Amino acid sequence: MRITTNAILRNYKSNLSTSISNLDTMRTRVMTSRKFNSTAEDPASALRSAVLERKYARNEDYLSLVDDVQSFQDAQEDAAMQINTISQNLSKKYGLEALNGTNGTLDIRETYAAAWRGAQESLLLSLNSSYEGRYVFAGSDGMTSPFELTKENGKQVLKYRGVDVDDPASLARLEELSEDSAYIDLGFGLTIDGQNVVSPSSAFDTSLPGINLIGYGQNDDGTSKNMVILAGQIADVLSQEDFDVEEYKRLLNAFDEGRSNVLEKITTLGTQTEFLTTTKERLESNKISLASQIDNVVNVDMAEAIMDFSWAQYAYNAALKVGNNILTPSFIDFMS
């Protein structure tokens, strides 16, 4: 087989070009710390990287949402604790003291009545608490103040989202409002059925309708279950010339039952807080895992990359030296 000078030069230039290309590739890997810089270089890894990065971004969104939900629920818990503190002071301090025989004069009872009415306003303010422009006890309608206390025909009326909380005729609507939900997807696999109803197990419910906290409707004896209304009625009984002790006790017992319900809801909020904490820990673990997977798919081992670059540099320099000797002496060089 005859090997010509042109063939040698062609092979040399081709191999030198390959060496330069390898050197440039290794240099780029070192500078960018990436195994590939375009999809064409490694389609399989590029596809896997895109999938992992989408998962990572979604996980970051869930983490941000958990923080927002936790802050919102903290606002709910703070307001509920305020309501519990107010109701506890009313029940154990003013409620019991007003029954003391030594405090039985009308003037003294009027003082206690004023305390109950002031506390009633405080309860209402706590029930209308908001967080970042959203009312925490308004159910799914967080943009509208949920509670309004008015007087109609000389009687106090408390309305929740426009519905009288003490009206037996509105009980069905109140029960519907008490089951109001506001679901947020926190990465549990949000599921919606054919009727566009969210599956409760696939999302987190941030809703706490205020009527579930302070009660609605009436007991069998006609006593209100709502603590704000009861506070006003207790104040009215204390202001009467003839103090009805039995009526006062009946209303106070109903108020104490409402306070027990507040404590129950606070306990539920505490359980939900623990759940959110666990969810955040799970998402943070996912974040670390996804970051590790992305690193394995996309980023180079820098020590290995530098070693590969050094080898490519050595091969290129060797190719240049070979080029100096590529044309060997021929018969013509020895002709005189």
pLDDT tens digits, 253-293:
899 889 889 999 999 999 999 999 999 999 999 999 999 99
Element (DSSP H or E) covering residue 160: strand 155-160
Question: Exposed (0-12), middle (13-18) or buried (19+): which is 220, by Cβ within 10 Å?
Answer: exposed
3-state DSSP percent of the chain in helix, strand and coil, to 5:
65, 10, 25
3-class state of residue 25 by DSSP: helix
Number of other residues whose CB lies within 10 A of the CB of residue 167 = 15
Please say whether the beta carbons of 76 and 132 come within 8 A: no
Q: What is the pLDDT of residues 76-92, one digit of tens each?
A: 999 999 999 999 888 87
Which among 118, 136, 93 has a CA at the least distance from the CA of 256? 93
Considering Cα of 67, then 72, then 75, then 80, what sign does the dihedral take?
negative
Element (DSSP H or E) covering residue 208: none
Considering Cα of 68, then 70, then 72, then 78, what sign does the dihedral take?
negative
Structure tokens of 234? 């207790």
Give 100's pLDDT tier (boundaries 50, 70, 90). Answer: low
Give 41's pLDDT tier (boundaries 50, 70, 90). Answer: confident
Give the single-character DSSP code of 91. I
Q: What is the pLDDT of residues 113-162, one digit of tens each?
A: 888 899 999 999 999 999 988 999 998 888 889 999 998 888 899 999 99
Please say whether the beta carbons of 174 and 216 come within 8 A: yes
pLDDT at 1 over 70: no
Question: Exposed (0-12), middle (13-18) or buried (19+): which is 323, by Cβ within 10 Å?
Answer: middle
Q: What is the pLDDT of residues 224-260, one digit of tens each?
A: 999 999 999 999 988 888 888 888 889 988 998 898 8
